[in-house]
Structure 1
């Protein structure tokens, strides 16, 4: 790709998921306000993903013959980034019109780069995970059932306020902040719980703006790659590393899912019983490790 001035560099790890990746890339091309840099990390690529990407002159990519996972993929792609802000996106996402303009507008309002922002997901199914913040609307759960025209006609129909707790993709940080905290931690490879770990690193650095943008919307087919993955025990790694569970971090530090209040940016006090429970749970995991 020739050198240009991009506002966002969009990094997408992919693992033998070419049809969804193509849809994701086409949505970025069609529905973005800005001309953004697209960077793909191809894990394995036995489905021909790398061969297809070689025919796409507007895309930068790296290719590993094995599945390196998200952490290695994101860290490796840092060397290709040409913009001030990087977006982490999944390959089974479809961006809605002006998703990037809404993020850009918020960044201009903030006026500095000590933040983590996220678009708001539209997903076909509700989940039992209290950390998931999304609009539940069913526009298909596969390429065959995807209702693109219906999505584009109605994606604004549900009012969603800005919310606390940006942590999961599609997420945005500045490249400066990424470099300061050292990117993704490879002890979480192939990637489960790498998101809360990265957010905790940002928190330790001093960032307090973890904000989801209600008007920046991205459709998510829901884990088309991670369902095939042999998962690491990221919850245990997070607990041993930080002394609390990821759920406590999301609920009491990031206050994930609550409506964003610009007057309040500090964490909610953690009840003493929950603190004690986290310490005991961590001690137990350490003994077993």
Structure 2
């Protein structure tokens, strides 16, 4: 198989360099992978990403760069698939640093999965480990908070190109943050594709250490995610989708209770969050902040849904 690794990027030059260098170090141990390319789609970056890549192009022989106006990750991934030369697409994000066995592990899982199922209606989903260690991201151990129950998420997934083309690629109507990949997953599930877990294909998802200055942006993302969740539900009005986007009475009660009706928020929890950060526990501080971040998300979902009813 010929892999096309499709990566959308927007203003992530420092971690993108680590992402691309890791992909140049892939160790392919058998004939399953004939070759691979990295299809990088710059989504209108303003941080010198393209200039840097042009200057260092000789260091990245597998990379084929493309550029678009700032249209969002859904449009960028669609352009990446359109330009891809491979028969198998791997989606990762530009802040993901993979191991040297990444491509081979996906290839092994795809071949084994097809043999076991007797069918090619499948895709592989690798492991994603979150880290804020920029210098050595692949040293981060797996944590319980890294578990994902998602069916299809573009952080680390490999799929035959034909299924993407048959299902219609990503819906570019998802222009705000969230849900464009899971919505495509719902359509793939309707085609009968099976998820094959591939924990050996590990990607380390880097993000800066959490600080109180991040909170306004995180709140805005949760509100956006709520609005896009309602668009997701409009396309697929099922109870399963309501659960995914947290548009149920259970979620309103749960996060309402955990946040004490909003009393535990970015202001009242700020001293405790800062204390955790000062203790060298920014990831734990972020998990605590999710108490009010999820409450903002639930409120955003219902606010957007009410707007549709009026």
Provide the TM-score with structure 2 as the length reference. Answer: 0.64
2:136 is aligned to: 147
Tell me, yes or no, if the aligned pair for 1:120 and 1:217 is still in contact at 8 Å: yes
Q: What's the secondary structure of 1:73's corresponding residue?
A: helix
Q: What's the secondary structure of 2:46's corresponding residue?
A: coil
1:116 is aligned to: 123
Q: 1:229 to 1:62 in 2, by over 3 A?
A: farther
Q: What's the secondary structure of 1:237's corresponding residue?
A: helix
| Deviation sequence 1:175-197 (CA, Å, 0-9, x none) | 10000001001111245100110
> Gapped runs of 5+ residues in structure 2?
210-216, 247-301
Shift of 1:122: 1.3
Shift of 1:19: 1.0
1:84 is aligned to: 87
Counterpart-to-counterpart distance in 1, 2:185 and 2:173: 15
Q: 1:166 to 1:198 in 2, by over 3 A?
A: same
RMSD of the alignment, in Å? Answer: 3.4
Counterpart-to-counterpart distance in 2, 1:122 and 1:52: 27
Larger radius of gyration: 2
Equivalent position to 1:194, from 172, 180, 196: 180
- Where in structure 2 are the equivalents of 1:93-112 lying within 5 Å? 93-111=96-114, 112=119
Shift of 1:202: 0.4
Tell me, yes or no, if the aligned pair for 1:88 and 1:172 is still in contact at 8 Å: yes
1:211 is aligned to: 196
Counterpart-to-counterpart distance in 2, 1:53 and 1:227: 29
Shift of 1:223: 8.3
| Deviation sequence 1:104-123 (CA, Å, 0-9, x none) | 11111122431122110111
What is the number of equivalent residue pairs in this alignment?
228
| Deviation sequence 1:7-28 (CA, Å, 0-9, x none) | 2111111101111111100011
Provide the TM-score with structure 1 as the length reference. Answer: 0.68
| Deviation sequence 1:166-219 (CA, Å, 0-9, x none) | 412111111100000010011112451001101001012222x12321222111
Counterpart-to-counterpart distance in 1, 2:24 and 2:196: 25
Matching of residue 62 in structure 1 with residue 69 in structure 2: no
Counterpart-to-counterpart distance in 2, 1:212 and 1:250: 23
Shift of 1:221: 1.1
2:156 is aligned to: 170
Counterpart-to-counterpart distance in 1, 2:75 and 2:2: 24
Q: 1:101 to 1:285 in 2, by over 3 A?
A: farther
Shift of 1:92: 0.6
Shift of 1:77: 1.6
Tell me, yes or no, if the aligned pair for 1:10 and 1:39 is still in contact at 8 Å: yes
Counterpart-to-counterpart distance in 1, 2:67 and 2:123: 28
Shift of 1:78: 1.8
Counterpart-to-counterpart distance in 2, 1:19 and 1:86: 24
Structure with bigger RCO (C-alpha 8 Å, 6+ apart): 1
More helix by share: 2
